[in-house]
Chains A and B, each alone.
Chain A
Amino acid sequence: EVQLVESGGGLVKPGGSLRLSCAASGFTFSSYSMNWVRQAPGKGLEWVSSISSSSSYIYYADSVKGRFTISRDNAKNSLYLQMNSLRAEDTAVYYCARGIYEGFDPWGQGTLVTVSS
């Protein structure tokens, strides 16, 4: 079964940092691009970042560029999102999702990041 499990969310003060992880199983992780998508409470989906299968290509939304860093470890079947200089507007559930069919499938269950003093 293809599965993605996020971890690392929590409560952090404005200006702080957090590192999210996504553990993948049930598929050849190194063959797929991976993505982070977030959803603020009661709001819609927002694409955050994408990384190609070999980490050669990396993309960020303008809202996080310069503050967030996506990375992956194909040997550990893991995806990461290092989040620095966090702001209140970064509060959201963060999902990791496999890139396939020029879309996102499947999605993990999400991890909640709350930025508040």
Chain B
Amino acid sequence: QSALTQPASVSGSPGQSITISCTGTSSDVGGYNYVSWYQQHPGKAPKLMIYEVSNRPSGVSNRFSGSKSGNTASLTISGLQAEDEADYYCSSYTSSSTLWVFGGGTKLTVL
């Protein structure tokens, strides 16, 4: 069982917006602004999409945005495109003995 809880799957049609949630505790998501999001296409390495809750690295489309409320972080993808179909993982710093924790991952299907 992963430390952070994500929905197993989400789907949307091209052009629509979707949101993926990532729920933790006050020891991780709720306690620090160190939440990041990763995109992983099949057979590929993960790619950083959002860091420190809501910041985009250079080169990442502005269709990707992040936010946080309490112990839940969210990734929103607007204007869905076929190339967005992938697995998405959230991660957070944690004050527990484990330094970093990941969510179980969410499979995004573009219908």
**Chain A positions near chain B (C-beta within 8 angstroms):** 35, 37, 44-47, 50, 59, 61-62, 95, 97, 100-110
Given contacts A44-B103, A107-B45, 12 further A-B contacts (CB under 8 A): A44-B105, A47-B100, A47-B101, A50-B99, A101-B48, A101-B52, A101-B57, A102-B36, A103-B34, A103-B51, A106-B48, A107-B46
The contact string, 1 if C-beta is below 8 Å from chain A, for chain B 46-69, is 111001100101000000000000
Residues of A within 8 A of B38 (CB): 45, 104
**Number of contact residues on B: which range applies?**
20 to 34
Q: How far is the CB of A1 from chain B (nearest CB, A)?
A: 12
Does B104 make an interface contact (CB < 8 A)? yes
A103 to B48, CA, bound (A): 8
**Contact present for A105 and B48 (CB under 8 Å):** yes
Residues of A within 8 A of B102 (CB): 37, 44-47
**Contact present for A105 and B57 (CB under 8 Å):** yes
Residues of A within 8 A of B51 (CB): 100-103, 105
Does B91 make an interface contact (CB < 8 A)? yes
A97 to B45, CA, bound (A): 10
In residues 1-55 of chain B, which contact A (Cβ within 8 Å)? 2, 34, 36, 38, 45-48, 51-52, 55
**Contact present for B97 and A108 (CB under 8 Å):** no
Pick the residue among B45, B52, B55, B98 that contacts A47 (CB under 8 A).
B98
A105 to B38, CA, bound (A): 10
Residues of B within 8 A of A62 (CB): 97-98
Q: How far is the CB of A45 from chain B (nearest CB, A)?
A: 4
* Known A45-B89, A102-B34: A107·B47 in contact at CB below 8 Å: yes
Residue of A nearest to B105 (CB): A44
**Contact present for B99 and A103 (CB under 8 Å):** no
Q: How far is the CB of B104 from chain A (nearest CB, A)?
A: 5
**Contact present for B36 and A110 (CB under 8 Å):** no
